[in-house]
Amino acid sequence: MVILFGIFLLTMLVIIAIAIIRTTDLFVAVMLSGIFSLMMAAIFFVLDAADVALTEAAVGAGISTVLFLSALALTEQHERSVRSWRWLVVPLVVVGTLIVYATFDQPRLGDPDAPVQQHLAPWYLEQTPKLIDVPNVVTAVLGSFRGYDTLGEVFVVLTAAIGVMLLLGTRESRAPSSTSKGTSALSHHIVPRVVGKLLIPFILLFGLYVQFHGDFGPGGGFQAGALFAAAVILYALLEGEGSALTVLPLPVIKAMMASGALLYALVGVACILRGGNLLDYSALLADPVAGQHLGILLIELGVGVTVCGCLLSIFHAFAARENHQWNG
C-alpha cells in the first residue's frame, strides 16, 4: 500500500508540474505550486523524513504560497506572451533522459549495503547515545556533529532576508499605511476568520512543541520558526497587517532576525571561553552530555528566532509594497 501511495503521489507531482508550466494564469500557478509542496511533504513523510516534511509543509505549502500571492499583487495576473524557445526542448529532454538513466545505478531505498549505510550512518547511530544522548539522531547531526554547517545556514537565511528587504525597501523609507490596520482580504469572510482564529493557538502550541521536542522527535528551530511565522502571517491575513504589527512590531521582528543568529554564534564563543572548541557543547557544563543538551537547546532556539524573524520581515516587506502601491 505504501508503494502504491508513493506511485500515486509521484504521478500527481508530474501532472501538477506540467500544469504549472502550461498555465498562463499566475494565480493558478501559485495555487498549484502550493499543492505541489503539500504533496512533496506527504512524500517525505512516506520516506520517514518527518523533519523535512514539516519544513516543506510549513514553508513550501504555507508561507511560500502567501509570499507568492503578495508578489503577484504587485504584478499582473496573467503571464505575458514571450518569444518561443522551442529549440531548448531537445537538450532538456536529453538531459532529463540522462538523469533518469543515472538514477538506475543508485542503490535501492533502504539498502543496507549502500555506501552511506556502511560507514556514516552506523557511526552516527553508535556514537550519538554515547557522546550526546539525543534520541533524534537527525537533531544530533544537524545541531552538534554538523554545527558549523547549520550556523552557516542560519546566516544564509539572514542574508537572504536582508537581500529581499533591500530589494523591496523597508517600511521606514515610505509613508506608513493607516488603512492596513484592521483590513484584509478575509476581513469580511466569517468562516475563514473563525476557523483561522481557532487554528492560530494550536499552531503556536505545536510550534513550541516542535521547538523544544526536537531532541526526542521530528522538529527543531527551522520548523518551529516557520510555524510561528505562519501563525503570525495567518493573523495578519485575518485581521490586517496593521493589527499584526501591533502585536509584533517591526523593530522587534528585525531584532529577532539578528538576535537568533547572534545567540547561535555566542554559544560557540562560550564553548571556547570554557576551554573547548567552537560549538563543542561538551565544554558548557561539567557533564559533557548535559552540555551537549544545553548547547543544542540554545542553538535551536537561535535558529527558530532567526527563521521566524526573517520570514515575517519578508512578508511585511511585500505587504508594505502592496499597501504603498494601492495608496499611491
Q: What is 31-71 written as a DSSP string? A: HHHHHHHHHHHHHHHHTT-HHHHHHIIIIIIIIHHHHHHHH
The pLDDT of residue 295: 92
Q: What separation in angstroms does the CA of 166 have from each of 74, 160, 169, 241, 317?
A: 17, 10, 5, 20, 9
- 307 pLDDT band (50/70/90 cuts)? very high
The pLDDT of residue 184: 57
Q: What pLDDT, in 10s, does the model give residues 119-167?
A: 788 888 888 888 888 888 888 888 889 899 999 999 999 998 898 888 8
The pLDDT of residue 175: 41
The pLDDT of residue 322: 58
Q: Is the pLDDT of residue 74 over 70?
A: yes
The pLDDT of residue 193: 80
Q: Is the pLDDT of residue 172 over 60?
A: no
Q: Is the pLDDT of residue 214 over 60?
A: yes
The residue that leads in pLDDT, 1 or 176, is: 1
Q: Is the pLDDT of residue 33 over 50?
A: yes
Pick from 164-178, 205-219, 224-238, 278-292: least confident: 164-178
The pLDDT of residue 122: 85
The residue that leads in pLDDT, 236 or 84, is: 236
Q: What separation in angstroms does the CA of 161 have from each of 58, 276, 313?
A: 17, 32, 7
Nine cell digits for residue 144: 552538534
**289 with 135: CB under 8 angstroms?**
no
The amino acid at 200: I
- Shortest CA distance to 282 belongs to which of 129, 131, 124, 139? 131
- 209 pLDDT band (50/70/90 cuts)? very high
pLDDT averaged over every residue in the chain: 84
The pTM is what? 0.80
Q: Is the pLDDT of residue 242 over 90?
A: no
**138 with 51: CB under 8 angstroms?**
yes
**57 with 37: CB under 8 angstroms?**
yes
The pLDDT of residue 270: 94
